[in-house]
Structure 1
Amino acid sequence: MGASPWIVSDGLWERIEPLLPRKERRFRPPGRKPLPDRQVLCGVLFVLHTGIQWEYLPQELGFGSGMTCWRRLRDWNEADVWQKLHEVLLAELNAAARIDWSRAVVDSSHVRAIKGGPRTGLSPVDRGRAGSKHHLITDGHGTPLAVILTGGNRNDVTQLLPLIDDIPPIRGRIGHPRRKPDSLFADRGYDHDLYRDQVRQRRIVPAIARRGTLHGTGLGTYRWVVERSFAWPHGFRRLRIRWERRADIHEAFLKLACCLITHRQLRALLRP
């Protein structure tokens, strides 16, 4: 049997540890020593994988309290740990020529927001209930390049350019870091000539389906990878429903999931 998915592997920890904010040294620390970051991260991953509520996190597994894990996740997200980790992993994939720059694909997915909060909205696809949207852009292989959280009532096309602009400069190859694909594929929800023109201005060829055209035009042959990519983060139970009222905590889970997916692809590449 393999290790539990919430156990942080040595390879992943070697990439995360240098990115964590350093704690100030105390010469006379009051009370107990803080729990090691690696154990706390295992607790965060346990919540992400199982969907369990913070207060029910089993302390006998050595994760610490749910509040301890929540606070560390908040602090790490504020320090941009997940964004930095994602860029490190993408650079390693790029160095191995495993990022398909010939095209990028965008799409969105709706999740219900049980407690409401910032970046939620009444969803037109869920009987007007409060929800949020995960907007994702991937490369041609389905590797997540950037993700954005918005209210469930936000039109998909409004996030097209922010997604493109959020692709980080990815290193790993000779020359300048790259952050633009050659072409961009999207479904009818992104059909707007104004946005096509702005995509072209970024020197990217838009391949966006038009409303009123028949299905089976061939664009779906390339767009299916982003639908598969959405199935990966939604495999983490905590992301199937937004339980957090605070948008930054849900977004932290979302970005952490993208890092784990990218790390899986890198690990598969290195597997003999």
Structure 2
Amino acid sequence: MRRHELTDAEWELIEPLLPRPATGRPRVDDRRVLNGIIFKIRTGVAWRDLPDRYGPWQTCATRFRRWAADGAFAHLLTQVQARADAAGLLDWLVAIDSTIVRAHQSAAGARERGDPGRDEPDDHALGRSRGGLTTKIHLACDGAGRPLAVVLTGGNRHDCTAFEAVMAAIRVPRLGPGRPRTRPDHLVADKGYSSRKIRTWLRVRGIAHTIPERADQVRHRRARGRRGGRPPAFDRQIYQRRNVIERCFNRLKQFRAVATRYDKTATSYQATVTLACLLLWLRTL
């Protein structure tokens, strides 16, 4: 085993979960190809620059795009989460936040409109701002700083606009009978998510939350006097645990293909981030 490659224990865990075609000629070894894909997202090299030990770079690139389109990486991630939840290793105090990623010049040039046959947005999750093309990663993680759900938007989108999409993406299946778990025990977020709509959404679903008020909201509430109502409950000790999401972002951005977006399509970049999330889970189990 070389640097950045899967250990024997990690491979034993995910090997049965990989998609396998029923017919066709013998495939190139899945472990070698997956190690090549991991090397690519960890180092950020171009597909053509993959070391020869991973076989033809075309095979790695084709397998990655096929698995990205089929949702194979997302399936692997949810199955690993399900095993952790069944073993009682998943902390359901959930933190949510976002981070901005610069897009490399090679990320531009995709079709102007997304593929109507796939879940590819028209803007490819690229937004133009003062710094150029950027993508925003909206993330929810558990209390141990391990990713639960990922949503991509353009970098010019506000955090709260993707809140419901991120919460809807939290879906941990059961290994036995029963519905997937979608509701955290407690949600922690920063002031960017302090809005009446979000607090109402959480209250209706019975989700306890710790979100500080923005300064302008405090002023407006106090200016209204009794009509302003009471301030929302806020637990400082619970809020101190929000740093787990910042540490999660730091670990994700150790993958150079996550820290800088090189993928042209949102589908491919989503798969890149999802695979990085999967590796974070494998390293902690």
Give the whole-Å Cα distance in 1 for the aligned partners of 2:284 and 2:51: 30
Q: CA deviation at 1:195?
A: 1.4
Give the whole-Å Cα distance in 2 for the aligned partners of 1:233 and 1:82: 16
Q: CA RMSD in A?
A: 2.3
Instruction: Report the equivalent of 2:82.
Output: 91
The residue identity in structure 2 corresponding to 1:81 is: A
The residue identity in structure 2 corresponding to 1:10 is: D
Give the whole-Å Cα distance in 2 for the aligned partners of 1:77 and 1:200: 35
Give the whole-Å Cα distance in 2 for the aligned partners of 1:265 and 1:34: 30
Q: CA deviation at 1:144?
A: 1.0
Give the whole-Å Cα distance in 2 for the aligned partners of 1:220 and 1:4: 40
Match for 2:94 among 77, 86, 104? Answer: 104
Give the whole-Å Cα distance in 2 for the aligned partners of 1:220 and 1:207: 6
Q: Establish whether residue 252 from structure 1 lines up as the match of residue 271 from structure 2.
A: yes
Q: Secondary structure at the match of 2:135?
A: strand
On the 8 A contact 1:145/1:167 being kept in 2, the answer is yes
On the 8 A contact 1:161/1:199 being kept in 2, the answer is no
Q: Which runs of 5+ in 2 are unaligned?
A: 111-123, 219-234
Give the whole-Å Cα distance in 2 for the aligned partners of 1:111 and 1:136: 13
The residue identity in structure 2 corresponding to 1:41 is: L
Give the whole-Å Cα distance in 2 for the aligned partners of 1:174 and 1:65: 42
Give the whole-Å Cα distance in 2 for the aligned partners of 1:25 and 1:265: 35
Identity, % of aligned positions: 37
TM-score, with length taken from structure 1: 0.85
Give the whole-Å Cα distance in 2 for the aligned partners of 1:73 and 1:6: 17
Where does structure 1 differ by over 6 angstroms across 4 or more consecutive aligned residues? none
Q: Establish whether residue 17 from structure 1 lines up as the match of residue 15 from structure 2.
A: yes
On the 8 A contact 1:6/1:43 being kept in 2, the answer is no
Match for 1:119 among 122, 125, 136? Answer: 125
Q: CA deviation at 1:24?
A: 4.6
The residue identity in structure 2 corresponding to 1:133 is: K
Q: What do residues 36-81 of structure 1 show as CA deviations (whole Å, max 9, x unaligned)?
A: 221111110110111111111121x2x1222221110111122222
On the 8 A contact 2:81/2:172 being kept in 1, the answer is no
Give the whole-Å Cα distance in 1 for the aligned partners of 2:3 and 2:268: 20
Q: Which runs of 5+ in 1 are unaligned?
A: 267-272
TM-score, with length taken from structure 2: 0.81
**Residue correspondence of structure 1 range 201-240 to structure 2 within 5 A:** 201-212=204-215, 220-240=239-259
Q: CA deviation at 1:173?
A: 8.1
Q: Secondary structure at the match of 1:232?
A: helix
